[in-house]
Amino acid sequence: MKDVFESYDRLGKLLGREKQAEKAKIRLQGEIGKFREEAGKREKVSILFIVGHDAGSLRQMYAAGPHSFVNEIIALCGGRNVMEGAGTVYPLVSKEKLIQENPDVMWIPCQRTSRLMAWWKLPKKNGRN
């Protein structure tokens, strides 16, 4: 989120509208603060956010890890990124890691649900549907 707020400063300066940019930034920070407070009242949901993979399979799955914008958004929403402890920003995720983490929510970019069939074939853990 730091980059977003810095963008307000840069754009304000470039456009000669520093005061308006500062007001808008403060307003956004306030709204995010309220959102974060509400999200903190809920139980954390574990999330695996896949940013890319081989179409139609679970090979070459890359997820949003620590220090990524997606990780910040997951935390802001009160979630727990299952890849937050990875050593890289966009780590490669193995099928074994996927089963071990057993995320409550898995976000996979795909154009058709038929491409998710490989996911449904994985062994289930703790009653995951």
Dump pLDDT digits (tens) for 34-63: 888 888 888 889 999 988 877 766 678 899
For the 46-120 domain, the top CATH level (class) is alpha beta
Burial class (CB in 10 A: 0-12, 13-18, 19+), 93: buried
Amino acid 108: pLDDT? 79
* Secondary structure of residue 108 in the 3-state scheme: coil
Pairing of strands 46-52, 80-81: parallel
In this prediction, residue 24 has a pLDDT band, given cuts at 50, 70 and 90, of very high
When pLDDT is averaged across residues 71-76 and rounded to a whole number, the result is 90
* Token pair in block for residue 100: 């071990």
In this prediction, residue 4 has a pLDDT band, given cuts at 50, 70 and 90, of confident
Amino acid 119: pLDDT? 54
pTM, whole model, 2 decimals?
A: 0.68
Amino acid 110: pLDDT? 62
Closest CA to 80 of 101, 109, 59: 101
Give yes or no for residue 28 having a pLDDT over 60: yes
| Extents of the domains making up the chain | 2-39, 46-120
pLDDT tens across 84-119, in order?
Answer: 999 999 999 988 888 888 899 888 776 555 555 555
Distance CA 44, CA 34 (A): 17
Q: Which residues contact 6 (CB under 8 A, 6 or more apart)?
A: none
